[in-house]
Amino acid sequence: MSKKIIDVVIETISPYDFNNTLGNLQAHINDLVHQYGVDARMEWDGDYWAPYCDSPSPRYEVKAMREETDAEYDKRVAEETAACAIRDARERKEFERLQAKFGAK
């Protein structure tokens, strides 16, 4: 298996932060580009629900793509291996049940 490229939220921005002058907005966007690079994206999440909130709280998310770390890779591989072992055990049990019911051929 190889490492995956994952999409991560770097920062969240309230839409109210955009109630500003165009000069201030330009400065804010330039700061984001300086901090995160020109390949970072800003995406609108109009249906974000904060925990324990009774209504959605729309927000912007600054996202970037990166390769997963060694720790993330090891965790993902371990989880996939465990899930595969559980699935194989379940299928073997089902196979044995069907074999006992219908006989081996």
Same domain membership, residue 101 and residue 60: no
Token pair 């390949």 is at which residue? 39
What separation, in Å, do the N-terminal and C-terminal C-alpha atoms of the chain show? 37
Same domain membership, residue 58 and residue 11: yes
Same domain membership, residue 74 and residue 56: no
Same domain membership, residue 11 and residue 61: yes
The pLDDT-based confidence of 104 (bands split at 50, 70, 90) is: confident
Same domain membership, residue 12 and residue 57: yes
How many structural domains are present in the chain?
A: 2
pTM of the model: 0.64
Q: Give the model's pLDDT for residue 32.
A: 93
Same domain membership, residue 73 and residue 56: no
The pLDDT-based confidence of 29 (bands split at 50, 70, 90) is: very high
- Please give the C-alpha separations between residue 76 and each of 49, 73, 79, in angstroms, as whole numbers: 27, 5, 5
> What confidence tens digit (pLDDT) does each residue in 34-69 have?
999 999 999 999 898 888 888 888 999 999 999 999
The pLDDT-based confidence of 105 (bands split at 50, 70, 90) is: low
Same domain membership, residue 33 and residue 45: yes
Which structural domain range is residue 95 located in? 69-105
Q: Name every residue whose Cβ is closer than 8 Å to that of residue 3 and which is 6 or more positions away in sequence.
A: 67, 68, 73
In the Cβ-directed half-sphere of 51, how many Cα atoms lie within 13 Å?
0
